[in-house]
A and B are shown apart, each in its own frame.
Chain A
Amino acid sequence: MEDSTQKSKFKSVTVEKPIPLQYDLAILAGFDTNALDESRLKNDTDNYLEEYTRDGTQLIINQIFNLPIKSSELGVMAELPDLVTVLPREKPLPKPKPPTRWEKFAKVKGVQHRKKSKMAYDEATGEWVPRWGYKGTNDDGANDWLIPVPDNAAKKERITKNEARNRRNVEEAEIASNQSKGLNGVNERSLRRAELQKQIIVSKTATASMGKFDKRLEGEPKLKGVKRKFEPIIGDVKKEKESSLNILNKVVGKKGDIVNVRKAIAKRGQ
């Protein structure tokens, strides 16, 4: 008897749908692809929607109860799986980087990059050891009990050289991006030359006298300022009036303050 009263009070926990739902339990969502019952939706909208929602919720809750359960201080928790829904990328794909000199050269020559494995066979010991790093093959006797103070000159030279190359690559990439912006036809050399001239002029002003008393080099370009140009004192009367009215419209707004909004609101409130 008790069973039958419970049945009438609560609905069944098993819900049957022709097409099973798809779930993304990480966001507690289920996606129902079954067709809606149109006649009931039209005639008995509220009840139908209520039932439909209940069934859907029941299905999600059933799924949650199937998940691995962990009890903690806060209570019994179900562990949600990872997100299934694939969200589109927020930002556009990064633009390809401009190729460096080496990459350009490698492309022309057809040099292929072969990936070396991390481990290398050490013939002396007959073991596989890392190619570099801790216990690597290239330690060059660093593990010996006595080693001479290393001569860093060669390494330093290599580093400065590489830095110079890197700088050149950056400059060339910038020039290339300028060319893509519509500054075509100007070759890299002349662009870099113009850039240098500009930098010289800027650096000239970096003295206390803003370059006024600096020695001038022979053939140094003269600095050209912007020449100001004014309208004549007595010009076109009509034109002047029109232009100042235009500016006034921009400042005050075309309609201006013909209607005093604050006053109008106050009047209306009375």
Chain B
Amino acid sequence: MRQLTEDETKVFFEKLAKYIGRNIVHLIDRSDETYYFRLHNDKVYYMSEELMKQAISVGRDQLIALGVCFGKFTKSKKFRLHITALDYLAQYAKYKVWIKPNGENTFLYGNNVLKAHLGRITDDTPEHQGVVIYSMSDIPLGFGVTARSTVETRKLQPTDIVAFHQADIGEYLREQDTLF
């Protein structure tokens, strides 16, 4: 476990900012307790100060995971967000997509969001913007990237893709081994 270097922080924030923009401030500068981002086994964890202090006494090899895993650095040093970060992304998301009940299942199996399944979408969402995907009852299901801007989605065919799948809560089952 260690602090992120400047370069790593930059790459990490760049990815995170695609979904929550400047709201990253609320993660760094919290009013309740001090929270930290720490790197362990190439994964970035978000944890309270108290938890971190306890974890220091655990050896590097013995420590498996702690706090909330936000994602991991790939071998080529890019950052990949994990579904475990969804709680925070959903809380601060700038652009949202709601999908109809009949589309929930296909999305949770890892498919893209089609126009036919689109319930609602935030106004003025640009193209290729990171979005958090909700069910119609406002339960966050995952996140992805828009294929078209809001205006363009209106003209689409029902089978056209509205948002590309990136992560969904089905991964909690599908990828239990590597997720945390």
Contacts and interface: CB of A to CB of B under 8 A. Distances in A.
Contacts of A237: 34, 49
Contact of A256 (B21, B38, B52): B21
Given A230-B3, A233-B3, A262-B124, A247 B13 contact: yes
Given A233-B56, A262-B124, A252 B17 contact: yes
B52 A230 contact: no
B10 interface: yes
B14 interface: yes
Most chain A C-beta atoms within 10 Å of own C-beta, residue among B2, B38, B53, B56: B2
Most chain B C-beta atoms within 10 Å of own C-beta, residue among A233, A260, A263: A233
A66 interface: no
A195 B39 CA distance: 39
A117 interface: no
B17 A230 contact: no
Interface stretch (A96-104, A140-148, A238-246): A238-246
Contact of A251 (B1, B17, B29, B126): B17
B5 interface: yes
Contact of B28 (A244, A256, A262): A244
A233 B29 contact: no
A262 B124 CA distance: 7
B25 interface: yes
Nearest to B10: A247
Contacts of B2: 230-231, 233
Contact of A235 (B3, B9, B17): B3
A205 to B, nearest CB: 20
B95 to A, nearest CB: 10
A243 B36 CA distance: 13
Interface residues of A, number: 24
A251 B13 contact: yes
A248 B24 contact: yes
B123 interface: yes
A245 B25 contact: yes
A85 B56 CA distance: 79
Interface string A39-79: 00000000000000000000000000000000000000000
Interface string A194-238: 000000000000000000000000000000000000111111010
A7 interface: no
Nearest to B56: A233
A114 interface: no
A233 B45 CA distance: 13
Contacts of B124: 260, 262-263, 266
A257 interface: yes
A248 B25 contact: yes
Contacts of A243: 6, 9
17 contacts: A230-B2, A230-B3, A232-B3, A235-B3, A237-B34, A237-B49, A243-B9, A244-B9, A245-B28, A247-B13, A248-B17, A251-B10, A251-B14, A252-B17, A252-B22, A260-B124, A263-B124
Given A240-B3, A247-B6, A258-B22, 18 more contacts: A230-B3, A231-B3, A233-B38, A234-B53, A237-B49, A243-B6, A244-B9, A244-B13, A245-B28, A248-B17, A251-B13, A252-B17, A252-B22, A256-B22, A257-B94, A260-B124, A263-B124, A266-B124
Interface of B: 1-3, 5-6, 9-10, 13-14, 17, 21-22, 24-25, 28-29, 34, 36-38, 49, 52-53, 56, 94, 123-124, 126
